[in-house]
Amino acid sequence: MQRTTVQRLGLGLLLVVAASLTWNVTATLSAAPKKERPDSIYEDLELLTDAISIIQAEYVDETKSKALVYGALEGMLNHLDPNSSFLNPDAYKEMKLETEGEFGGLGIEIAVRDDLLTIIAPIDDTPAHKAGLKAGDKIVKINNELTRGVTLQEAVKKLRGKPGTQVAVTILRERERKLLDFTLTRDIIKIQSVRDTKILEDRIGYIRLASFQEHTPDDLEQALGRLTQEQMNSLILDLRNNPGGLLDVAVSVSEKFLEPKQLIVSTRGRRGNQNMEFRARGSSHHLGFPLVVLVNNGSASASEIVAGAVQDHRRGVLLGAKTFGKGSVQTVIPLRDGSALRLTTSLYYTPLGKSIHGEGLEPDVVVEEGSEPLAKEKKPISLPEEESPPSVSDPAILRAIDLLKGLKVYKTS
């Protein structure tokens, strides 16, 4: 039997649930390899049908068969790993909406790490970002209920709600060794992937990339075009607190800075059709300038693909802090009633064969955390932008500027 699937790798459910990166291509899955005799599988399935029959006959309240089947599917997928899950029809519709760049909620992406709900990154200009939630924060309570043992899908239901309503979260911030309480007002989340584009000093361009959505490659190309018109001769690409997104978008972003046919990322799974390579293609390649990519522990999945490709091919310098380490591939397989399975099917690897999952990427130049991206920085008083480049106080960006100046001097010497 064959199934048509929509695959997601790396990002996960924005606002609220992360799983790995997302894959927006269409693929066909062949029948799974047979590990057990068919009659053994049918015997095991009889246990499930027996249990459903007993529940419907004996449980104190009347039950619906579909609710019981959905519950069984949820338990089955949650048993596999924190990133696999069952999506009922409403959840599946929400997931598809998120990849288009607009959805409701708080504006955070979370994952399960050490059995705790962990914020990968808040999305710029969302309730979570404005309230001061940070990458690495542990969500220990939602509306005063402990979250230990809560699945990602359950967390989604608790954190989401009607825009304008409030949700209370208690955060463990390990660096400060204390619990922090926040009350956030839910809102419609609109994702702008390219958040800031400008020329800094010495003709150094700066682009803050906040997420990887369907429109990101076009937005990035336009930003690069504007900077080129302003005589940019080097670039800082800021991927800090970028939780990821679509795999094909990560490939499209990476190939802008690589030579044609260079390997960007590969995936490896149990089956031959899950072992894939993605290489730079197309004709729009920006190669003639030094590049620094900024990362931190909020850079995950698609961000790590771009950063890993740049680092492994020595196209640029990775600067900042170690990345999150989210490198598993989820395949979203639609079911006949509008629900879907979100199943971990493989891991992704950098061009040099490094698995990022659970490990993250080590930067070439380490700059300690402690400052927000440029878009949030308070700038010293300076002349208007048309008369003077914008002032910068972000330590990572200042270090990147110094590094690029040195690279340009070395290149011309």
Q: Per CATH, is 102-190 categorized as 3.30.450.270?
A: no
Catalytic residue among 124, 312, 339, 394: 312
For strands 187-190 and 102-105, give the pairing: antiparallel
Q: Domain map of the chain by residue range? A: 3-95, 102-190, 194-326+347-412
What residues does 170 pair with on adjacent strands?
A: 141, 181
Q: Which residue has the tokens 């061009």?
A: 351
AA identity, residue 156: V
The per-residue pLDDT for 197 is: 94
Catalytic annotation present for 326: yes
**pLDDT for the residue 8:** 37
Q: Which element (helix H / strand E) includes 103?
A: strand 102-105
Q: What is the pLDDT of residue 36?
A: 57
Amino acid at 21: L
Active site residue 371: no
d(C-alpha 264, C-alpha 249), whole Å:
12
Helix axes of 216-229 and 247-255: crossing angle, nearest 10 degrees: 20
167-202: burial string, b at 16+ Cβ within 10 Å, e else: bebbbbeeeeeeebebebebbebebbbbbbbbbbee
In the numeric block, which tokens belong to residue 369? 């955390």
Burial 71-85 (b: 16+ CB within 10 A, else e): eebbeebbeeebbbb
Q: Does the annotation count 218 as an active-site position?
A: no
Which among 196, 189, 186 is positioned nearest to 220, based on CA atoms? 196
Q: Which residues of 306-317 are buried (b: 16+ CB within 10 A; e: fewer)?
A: bbbbbbbbebbb
Which member of 84, 85, 252, 301 is catalytic? 301
The pLDDT value recorded for residue 58 is: 95
Intrachain domains 102-190 and 194-326+347-412 with the same fold: no
Rounded distance, CA 291 to CA 236, Å? 6
The amino acid that residue 73 corresponds to is L
> For the chain (length 413 residues), average pLDDT per consecutive 10?
37 34 42 57 88 95 94 92 88 72 77 87 89 93 91 82 91 89 91 90 95 93 95 96 90 96 95 92 86 96 97 97 91 93 93 93 89 42 40 89 88 64
Residue 316 per-residue DSSP state: S
Helical (H) or strand (E) element with 95: helix 89-99
CA proximity to 117, closest of 126, 104, 108: 108
pLDDT of residue 314: 96
Quote helix, strand, coil % in the chain, to nearest 5.
Answer: 30, 30, 40
Burial of 294: CB neighbours in 10 Å, binned 0-12, 13-18, 19+: buried
Burial of 204: CB neighbours in 10 Å, binned 0-12, 13-18, 19+: buried
Q: CATH number for 194-326+347-412: choose from 3.50.50.60, 3.40.640.10, 3.20.20.80, 3.90.226.10.
A: 3.90.226.10
Q: Which of 326, 339, 346, 394 is catalytic?
A: 326
CB burial string 211-249: b at 16+ within 10 A, e below: bbbeebbebbbebbeebeeeebbbbbbbbbbbbbbbbbb
Q: What pTM did the predictor assign?
A: 0.73
pLDDT of residue 21: 52
